[in-house]
Amino acid sequence: MTRNKLIIKTLLALGVLCVAACTANYEEINTDPNDATKDQMGADAYIVSAALTGMQGWVIPLEEHQYQFIENLMGCPFGGYMADSGSWDTRTTLYNPTDDWTRPAFKVVLPEIYKNYVKLQANTDDPVILAVAEVIRAAAIHRVTDIYGPIPYSQVGRDGSLTAPYDSQEKVYDTLFEQLDKAIAILMAHRTGSFNSKADKVYGGNISKWIRFANSLKLRMALRLSYADEKKAREMAEAAAPNTMVDNADNALMPVTKNPNTLTVTSWRDSRISADLTSYMNGYADPRRESYFTKAGTANGGYNGLRSGVRYDDRNRSDYSGMVVENATPILWMNAAEVAFLKAEAALRGWEVGGEAEDFYKQGIELSFRQYGLAGADVYAGNAVAIPAAYDDPTGRYSAPRQSSITVAWDPAADDEENLERIITQKWIACFPLGNEAWAEYRRTGYPRLLPSPDASGMGIEQGGMPGRVPYPQNEFTDNAVNYAEALKLLGGPDNMATRLWWDCKPNK
């Protein structure tokens, strides 16, 4: 490119940004006084790369404090993976969190995703890049709506900021499916190609892997609707199933230089492994334990979990297992094992996804074992005797009986509900540490059966109850009052932690 052409292209791109800023007034979404201009940064490719990888960095936040609030101290405890070991008086797991504990997914992730998305649109017309951005956006947005329910989405930007009308959760999902379908179609047209690997930390520019991930994400979202809209769920699942992840080489992993868990779990020691997860995996003598957990430094020296939603004011953190994690441990978005279990559930429901439920179930266990370099998946999958263990608290105060007697081995004579519990329980183990995904599936299905939180109550939840969502940021009530009032109508209940989401409607759960 000649210097004159570069200058003209730069001015045109800046003009697009100016028009977007003037007509939409995106505030923090598309303007940052600290951002360099194109002239300062050089090539278009740099901006495109920074924006796309910037979006990737917010699917599951890499910034440690945002990760801690969204994943480590909320999704993971509610999903049965972790328990907070701090002594805070107000916290999510006691159902009395302050606004700064519950607002980050709404007030940080949404703006960051849109800021980078708008920057991409202004700086490239490459259909592949824009299609990948749509997939990344869906990966982030479905997590946000599953935390709060209705959110501003389809009309964000029309009036210039996130103070836009909310969409119902059903509409958010419908929009995401439409956007995913368009993105998949574009990527399929370029499936044999690739794009700049510097712009893609997850798959290094491999388009075929993005197609598999996009369809796998669509399959996950489809099953989320299984009780709310089975017809739509089946349609989406059957369309996605033929071209999903099939091997661990397809796993969506975000490489990092410092995994947030090395701070939140290892350095700050604000979390320990949950009593729920250790009870199930100890009962099954699961060989993945040493890949997941550290052994407790004191007490019995075994794999000891910490019960969530309790006040351990004098507990010794060394009595409880931590997470096995290193600085360079990548952040998991999705793995092939989860996809196999999704297909197992779909097949159990009678949907056409290319196989039988039992086969997909065993495949999910095998893929999870292989992910951690372990043999013996067939022996584990055939165990019809082992059941989850009772919880033995090292302090003796919060011990509890087992919550389930579900075995690992598939039982063709069992009813569908029992085998659904098997599928979800093993998927839960295989998806560690995807806390918000675990929480969403627990709310949808009631599985795995988790220990109640004995010291937690508030936000509409009685003692021993489980949260259905978290409240909106407090300034929505003042800064976005009209739209907030409409959001509550869409939500169908009070803005507290007890209100259930649209897809959380399983009968007799």
Tell me the DSSP string of 440-488.
HHHHHH--S-----TT--BTTBPTT---S--PPPTHHHHHSHHHHHHHH
DSSP string for 406-440: --SS--TTS-HHHHHHHHHHHHHHHTTT-HHHHHH
Q: Does the CA dihedral 20-24-30-32 come out positive or negative?
A: positive
What distance lies between CA 354 and its chain's CA centroid? 26
**CA 218-223-227 angle, 5° bins:** 140
SS3 content of the chain, % helix, strand, coil (to 5): 50, 5, 45
For residue 333, give every residue at least 6 positions away whose Cβ sits within 8 Å of its Cβ, in sequence order, or none.
59, 60, 139, 202, 213, 252, 253, 254, 434
Residue 488 exposed, middle or buried by CB count within 10 Å (0-12, 13-18, 19+):
middle
CA gap 370, 50 in Å, rounded: 33
CA gap 452, 391 in Å, rounded: 12
Q: Can you give the pLDDT at residue 5?
A: 36
Alpha helices for 372-415 (secondary structure H): 377-381
CA gap 135, 502 in Å, rounded: 23
**Residue 502: its H or E element:** none
CA gap 286, 369 in Å, rounded: 10
How far the first Cα of the chain sits from its last, in Å, is 62
Asked if 400 contacts 387 with a C-beta cutoff of 8 angstroms, the reply is: no
Q: At what angle do helices 435-445 and 416-430 cross, to 10 degrees?
A: 170
- The pLDDT tens digits of the residues spanning 398-453 come to 999 999 999 999 999 999 999 999 999 999 999 999 999 999 999 999 999 999 99
Nearest to 139 by CA among 342, 333, 336: 333
Type of residue found at 150: P
Type of residue found at 285: A
User: Which pTM was predicted?
Assistant: 0.91
Type of residue found at 182: K
What are the structural domains, with CATH classification, of the chain?
Answer: 44-244+449-509 (1.25.40.390), 276-327+335-433 (1.20.120.840)
What distance lies between CA 450 and its chain's CA centroid? 19
CA distances from 24 to 106, 152, 305, 481 (A): 20, 15, 49, 20
Q: DSSP state, 119?
A: H
Q: Can you give the pLDDT at residue 314?
A: 62
Three-class DSSP labels, 297-327: CCCCCCCCCECCCCCCCCCCHHHCCCECCCC
- Three-state DSSP class for 218? helix
Q: Can you give the pLDDT at residue 72?
A: 94
Type of residue found at 72: N
Q: Can you give the pLDDT at residue 137?
A: 98
Which contacts (CB < 8 Å, 24+ apart) does range 326-329 have?
326/259, 326/262, 327/256, 327/257, 327/258, 327/259, 327/262, 328/255, 328/256, 328/257, 328/259, 329/256, 329/259, 329/261, 329/262
Residue 163's CB is within 10 A of a number of other CB atoms, namely: 17
Q: Can you give the pLDDT at residue 300?
A: 66
Q: Can you give the pLDDT at residue 8?
A: 35
For the chain, 509 residues long, the average pLDDT of each consecutive 10-residue run is 37 36 37 46 76 98 96 96 89 94 96 93 96 98 98 78 89 98 98 96 98 99 98 98 98 96 86 96 98 82 90 79 95 98 99 98 98 98 98 92 98 98 98 98 98 92 93 94 96 97 95
Backbone angles phi, psi at 154, to 5 degrees: -65, -25
What does the block give as tokens for 180? Answer: 């995913």
**CA 477-480-486 angle, 5° bins:** 80
What does the block give as tokens for 287? Answer: 């060989």
Radius of gyration of the CA atoms of the chain, in A: 23
Q: Can you give the pLDDT at residue 162?
A: 74
